[in-house]
């Protein structure tokens, strides 16, 4: 049976799937996320390991800059639930209407 979500890395070599809606979806303003995304923040999520199935490829670090902004095959299905490392948010970036954490939430 097909899983609810499918996704891939930037180059398409690594594909994976999962079923559960992510509980942890964050917009992060830490310096590492800024560097990784090439922007003011990065939006990312985590899923439980027992719900994660690697379909192809071998995950590894990959540096890229893309105009498309593609990540998940259907990024509109993932909505952030919190912002973290807001102490690093640039002054011109407006807070989103969601819980705010100056650092990593516990």
What's the pLDDT score for residue 101?
95
Q: Examine residue 79 and state whether it is found in any structural domain, yes or no.
A: yes
- From CA 100, how far away is CA 105, in angstroms rounded? 9
Q: How far apart are the first and last CA of the chain?
A: 35
* Predicted confidence (pLDDT) per residue in 3-34, tens digit: 789 988 878 899 999 999 888 899 998 888 88
Q: What is the pTM of this model?
A: 0.58
CB 80 within 8 A of CB 105: no
Helix (H) or strand (E) holding 31: helix 31-37
Q: Examine residue 26 and state whether it is found in any structural domain, yes or no.
A: yes
Q: Examine residue 101 and state whether it is found in any structural domain, yes or no.
A: no
According to DSSP, the residues that pair with 26 across neighbouring strands are: 44, 82
Q: Which residue has the higher pLDDT, 64 or 15?
A: 15
Number of domains in the chain: 1
What's the pLDDT score for residue 70?
55
What's the pLDDT score for residue 66?
47
- From CA 95, how far away is CA 85, in angstroms rounded? 12
What's the pLDDT score for residue 53?
94
Closest CA to 83 of 102, 68, 69: 102
Which residues are CB-neighbours of 61 under 8 A, at least 6 positions away? none
What's the pLDDT score for residue 96?
92
Q: Examine residue 14 and state whether it is found in any structural domain, yes or no.
A: yes
What's the pLDDT score for residue 23?
87
Q: Examine residue 106 and state whether it is found in any structural domain, yes or no.
A: no
Q: Examine residue 64 and state whether it is found in any structural domain, yes or no.
A: yes
What's the pLDDT score for residue 33?
84
Q: Examine residue 15 and state whether it is found in any structural domain, yes or no.
A: yes
32: containing domain: 5-88
According to DSSP, the residues that pair with 17 across neighbouring strands are: 6, 53
Q: Examine residue 104 and state whether it is found in any structural domain, yes or no.
A: no
């Amino acid at each position: 049976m097909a899983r609810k979500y499918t996704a891939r890395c930037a180059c398409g070599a690594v594909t994976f799937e999962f079923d559960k809606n992510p509980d942890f979806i964050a917009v992060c303003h830490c310096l590492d996320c800024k560097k990784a995304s090439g922007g003011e923040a990065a939006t990312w999520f985590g899923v439980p390991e027992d719900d994660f199935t690697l379909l192809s490829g071998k995950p590894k670090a990959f540096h890229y800059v893309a105009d498309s902004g593609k990540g998940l095959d259907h990024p509109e299905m993932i909505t952030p639930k919190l912002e973290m490392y807001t102490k690093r948010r640039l002054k011109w970036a407006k807070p989103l209407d969601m819980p705010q954490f100056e650092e990593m939430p516990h």
